[in-house]
Amino acid sequence: MRETRFTPDRGLTTRMVTTMFFIGLLYVVFVGVLVALLRGAWPIVLLLAGGVFVAQFWFSDRIAAYGMGAREVTPQEAPELHGAVDRLCALADMPKPRVAIADTDVPNAFATGRNQKNALVCATTGLLRRLEPEELEGVLAHELSHVAHRDVAVMTIASFLGVLAGIITRIGLWGGLRRAGGRDANTAVLMVVIPLVSAVVYVISFLLTRLLSRYRELSADRAAALLTGRPSALASALTKVTGEMARIPTRDLRQAEPFNAFWFAPAFSKETLSSLLSSHPTLEQRLDQLARISVRLGRA
């Protein structure tokens, strides 16, 4: 992985390593418990865990792009968008990712891909209609920093493991209970213990990924502002996108909500809930950080 001109973030790197360590440890314990409880079904558990994880890692960019309705576009189809990405990649000294557009009025953007060679950056038609060129470059720089810092791949893997817990549990229970006959005392215990263990694993994974997600958004804002030298443009884009979300039909926002952790701004801002459940820092936190960066750049 080549280095770029995006400002390195040791705090982000430390959090990514820590998150993956604890999630990896959690799943080793989880699979071990399932193998111990479902002795007859352990080959199914291990094969499913390994097979689905490999498939997710290698095809995560395609899965995410398909789920969010992204369509790859050529420079002839979207010259302004490609031009902005070209300028930012030259400024950051990084390979140009694939460029896509999602046909939705929800003003947003995302990046996905397991590394710089497989990366994809997507903007929605709603975002392209609403932002000025400087604002759009700020958003795209934010998304490119996710690719440069490698946190896109980490978030994809970390988010997927929570889903994997439920899949393994269902398959493991099905295989184990069929072998057990489904009627003895051990079966009754399994039907209580395994869903409980799976729920605990999912909750811990969810909280760890949310914690990482909030920090990585602040890190991407900071890196984008420093790369472009225009924190005010990114702040303006943030304010505009967040304000426009209130005008989007609830049905469209509900469709985008499952991918909140990957969007530039959340489809639904759940600031009334505990911050532990939020995928993004609050708008006030993000604007405050950008204001401090603006002051610092002004002094420099």
Query: What is the rounded radius of gyration, in angstroms, for the C-alpha atoms of the chain?
Result: 21
List active site positions: 143
Q: What is the pTM of this model?
A: 0.83
Known binding site: residues? 142, 146, 217
pLDDT digits (tens, 9 = 90+) for 119-160: 899 999 999 999 999 999 999 999 999 999 988 878 877 766
Percent of residues, the chain, with pLDDT higher than 90? 42
CB atoms within 10 A of CB 67: 14
Q: How far, in whole angstroms, is CA 289 from its chain's centroid? A: 21
Known binding site for Zn(2+): residues? 142, 146, 217
What is the maximum alpha-carbon separation in the chain?
Answer: 74
- Residue 271 in this model has a pLDDT that exceeds 60: no
